[in-house]
Structure 1
């Protein structure tokens, strides 16, 4: 059985009318993420690892409405969310209301793998993230 990969940069589109100085970095980031995902799949990384890897790259880019590029709330704060699912096991994990965690997708994966829960939000998700740091997991926080 072969594989396929699809990705997007969140809600909205990249209209051709967008000035090149704003459109080009978005297109380049999507190409980079696609190439990263393809290389990881060719290296026989698990689909779940590839999803987390690619979404982390999107979260680390200021070009998209995720992570670093999150649109601010009306109060001027960030409230990120992410979810992930393992198609083989049908297990999933989700988080929302994150304001300090760098990669929400990584925390969602830890919810799936290390808790009996499917979803953690706001203060509970942030507390879980802090617990994971104490457990030597690679959760990073914004300063």
Structure 2
């Protein structure tokens, strides 16, 4: 029997504040443990990946789902993609709003459509047709990311006034 291996990373943040480090580490460990349990129970690699990514999307410490960085208008627009190593099929979504777990929608794109990528309104229509429930945008926005956007807008304004 081959050993089971699952690698989870929490993104490419170049600097995580000291106060967040342990919460981020624990979130990655929880996601990895969930994915590993799925594999141990006989689930597929895709099931494990989807489960682990959904756990990150549900954790406000990560830039996915709840905790997504806000666009310039202060709105959440999310992207997700997934790929099967067996047959190289893939599914992706971009600019999706009000969906707690975009990774689940990306997998549905891969498995239920002839497409590999849906965006914006097309992705929203497909999500509705698949019964993916919408969540209020406020549920996806964190105070940390509101402050981050304010800081970026202030820096941009200050830069442009020079």
TM-score using structure 2 length: 0.79
Rg comparison, structure with higher value: 2
Are 2:6 and 1:5 equivalent residues in the alignment? Answer: yes
Q: How many residues align?
A: 135
Name the structure where helix makes up a greater proportion of residues. 2
Q: Deviations over 1:38-85 (max 9, x none)?
A: 221111111111111110000001000000010000110011000001
Take 1:31 and 1:124, find their aligned partners in 2: how far apart are those partners?
Answer: 34
Structure 1 runs of 4+ with >3 Å offset: none
Measure the CA separation in 1 of the matches of 2:85 and 2:94. 21
- SS where residue 56 of structure 1 aligns? helix
Cα RMSD over matched residues? 1.3
Map of 1:118 onto structure 2: 116
For 1:79-118, what aligned pairs fall within 5 Å after superposition? 79-118=77-116
Report the equivalent of 1:19.
18
Give the TM-score normalised by structure 1. 0.89
For residue 36 of structure 1, report the CA deviation from its aligned partner: 1.3
| Superposed displacement of residue 140, structure 1 | 2.7
Long gaps (5+) in structure 2: 137-162
1:140 to 133, 137, 141: 133
Structure 1 residues not aligned, in runs of 5+:
134-138
